[in-house]
Amino acid sequence: MIAFDNTYARLPARFYTRQAPVPVAQPERIVVNEALARELGIDPAEISAELLTGNVVPEGAEPLAQVYSGHQFGNWAGQLGDGRAILLGEVVGARGRRDIVLKGAGRTPYSRGGDGRAWLGPVLREYVVSEAMAALGIPTTRALGAALTGEEVIRERPLPGAVLARVAASHIRVGSFQHFAAAGDREALAVLTDYTLARHYPEAEGPLGLLEAAMRSQADLVARWLGVGFIHGVMNTDNMALSGETIDYGPCAFMDAFNPAQVYSSIDHLGRYAWNAQPGIAQWNLARLAEALLVLIDADEQAAVAAAGEVLAGFGEMFERAHLAVFRAKLGLQRAEPGDKALIEGLLGRMASSRADFTLTFRALASTGDASAYITDPGAWESWAPDWRARLAREAGDPGRIMRATNPAFIPRNHQLEAMIEAALEGDFAPFHRLCSVLARPFDDQPEARDLALPPKPGEEIRQTFCGT
């Protein structure tokens, strides 16, 4: 039996709508993440297709759809909310309290005209990418399982429906606070602030403490994204989790050829959420959180703005420290030296000029100490490598060990994800299971899976990714 302990469902009724999943025709289990289930204290055998799709609501669950609002692509979108996700409840396992959500579980009052369903492609994509992120050591929601619904959904054409069981530290978003701020509901803001602090940052105090803690977690998260060439693709305020986890894998992508301004999302026409724009967007989103908290910070609006501004001013330094720490490790460096930033930027600039494969360039540094096969601009590698080697010589220990544990050999490459989805649409889930297996050990060489480490061949490149809805 799954031991639920539901605290969000005890919050005031205006935080959510109680909503059972909408039953489906013929549930069929695709996969269960057995290791994660055990970590949550759940017997994997209990996770049936009926549970994964919501046809059976387990005892102790209190299904609900959360309400929130937010900015989307910088524009205020007003009330949003879980339009196709149902929070079954919370469990307390080896790593603390976790939400279990069914994504694609049917219409809710927040569906905004949608059908509340998901099709197979985005479900498999989120499963693979979120689990790959976890294996890379990056804070993220997790995938507990996936199932087919036995029903079709219409997305330009009929496609097989599916449901993803997602696990998260919580689903509290910047947009959760914005929702109650927009409604002028100070009481709800105070309740949500206290709840979020107790759940995620018990060492922090009050709205300013929450803001600073959220800033620190986001600075670390985005620095880690940049370190693996990850582009979230849709960093709206309703997609920024207060827990500091990566959430909502829609048009996300990992870069192949390095381009700091790379965008994949088909709806990001102006590059708002490009790879190199993500730190600035994180700060922008945090400023929206600060605005929502102003009424709790001080009754004097000017004093509240000044206090929040003082906290927000620290984001740049927070991110810089996190960013340098990530890229120092990628270069095998443990100590900090004044020239490290220039050394890192020098390498990235050369990679950009050569359109070097992001993952393979850093993996080559870790494996052989020679990335000249990827940094191909004449003289570019030779003009950088001696400074790096001299810097490594001043390090103690084994820099290679650090680099091999930091620079993955395998990432979920876009063309492989698309090929996996196409195979699954034909009923072949072998590529899906193979990707899951290989990406669970991203820092191991795995010579038998060498093909999954390679960038796309000409004609295989994926230039656009699409929102999962």
Active site residues: 238
In three-state secondary structure terms, 193 is: helix
Rounded Cα gap, residues 394 and 177, in angstroms? 47
| Phi and psi, residue 376, nearest 5° | -100, -10
CA distance 101 to 21: 10
- Owner of token pair 């996190």: 322
Residue 184 tokens, joined: 């002028």
Residues 347/258, Cβ–Cβ less than 8 Å: no
In the numeric block, the tokens 């149902």 are attached to: 86
Return d(Cα 322, Cα 224) in angstroms, integer.
Answer: 8
| Strand 142-155 with 96-103, pairing | unpaired
354-392 core/surface letters (b: 16 or more CB in 10 A; e: else): bebbbbbbbbbbbbeeebeebbeeeebbeebbeebeebe
27, 49 contact by CB (below 8 A): yes
Residues in contact with 329: Cβ distance below 8 Å, sequence separation at least 6, in sequence order: 402, 403, 406
Cβ atoms of 91 and 100 closer than 8 Å: yes
Pairing of strands 118-119, 253-254: unpaired
DSSP state of 120: H
